[in-house]
Amino acid sequence: MIFLRSLIFNILFYTTLALSCVIGSVVGLFSRKATVPLWNYILMPLCCSYLRICGIKIEIRGRENLKQEGVIYAAKHQSAIETYCLSSYITKATFILKKELTYIPIFGWAQHFYGMIAVNRSAGGATLKKLLKEAKDRMSKGRPIIIFPEGTRTKPGLTTEYKPGLVFLYQNMNVPVIPVALNTGLFWAKNSFLRYPGTIVIEFLEPMPAGMEKKEFMTELQKRIEAKCAELNAESAKKYPHVQIILDKNKKGL
């Protein structure tokens, strides 16, 4: 049953996503500004609504910490789903993503018109300067920034080194950072065809104020995100039998 539900979901989701990219690209040719509400209020909510086919629900916690401008969101990255659904709640946000994604025909065009910030991770110091310039531009237009500090998807229960891009923005933009914890990888795993039923929890934590010392900021940010993710994993393991198996395999490196 999980396989069949996953098959139906994947067909519907990726077909709708492909059509959405075409629509977004066409609209973007005439009005880049119009692509933001188009994606965030119509296209992405439609794509994410298919999760119900797999028995997946999305629960948002910490809504009182949500801010729609003048802030950076630092989110744990476990699955593709947060890249699709976060903008439904942070409705003017833009993401920082690796430049290679913009090379994908149609999909990359849609990202460009939406106003994503593409980063060439092999360009060294020049990358940070370009990142800061574009982030300030988006922020000046009332668009908060979403960044994944680890720079890649990480399996639930694991963590990798947080990259310098976030702290560079934090030090140079003088805005608060809102940590985001989640458990998405337990239900939509990296490079997996299957989608497991359960409740995806995305929790917006208390904002970290601007002006903290670099090391203190990074240590506290990682501590908050990883501790809350561990809580969400433990909570999920009590409700859904498959979760503990996934966490044990990840811990063993399987």
Q: What pLDDT sits at residue 164? A: 87
- Residue 65's contacts (CB-CB under 8 Å, 6 or more residues apart) are 178, 204, 205, 206, 207
DSSP state of 86: G
Give pLDDT, residue 124: 66
CATH code: domain of residue 245: 3.40.1130
DSSP 8-state class, residue 198:
E
For the entire predicted model, the pTM comes to 0.94
Strand partners, 204: 180
The whole-number pLDDT of residue 122 equals 67
Domain hosting 244: range is 2-252
Q: Residue 187's pLDDT is what?
A: 97
What tens-digit pLDDT sequence spans the chain (254 residues)? Answer: 899 999 999 999 999 999 999 999 999 999 999 999 999 999 999 999 999 999 999 999 999 999 999 999 999 999 999 999 999 999 999 999 988 888 898 999 999 999 999 988 766 677 888 899 999 999 999 999 999 999 899 999 999 989 888 999 999 999 999 999 999 999 999 889 999 999 999 999 999 999 999 999 999 999 999 999 999 999 999 999 889 999 999 988 76
Which long-range contacts link 228-235 to residues 24+ away (Cβ below 8 Å)? Answer: 228/179, 228/181, 228/203, 229/76, 229/156, 229/181, 229/182, 229/183, 230/157, 231/181, 232/181, 232/182, 232/183, 232/201, 232/203, 233/156, 233/157, 233/183, 233/186, 235/183, 235/201
Report d(CA 63, CA 74) in Å as an integer.
15
Output the pLDDT for position 29. Answer: 94
Q: Number of structural domains, the chain?
A: 1
Q: Do 39 and 25 contact (CB within 8 A), yes or no?
A: no
Q: In whole angstroms, how far apart are CA 216 and each of 137, 173, 174, 209, 222?
A: 27, 17, 15, 12, 10
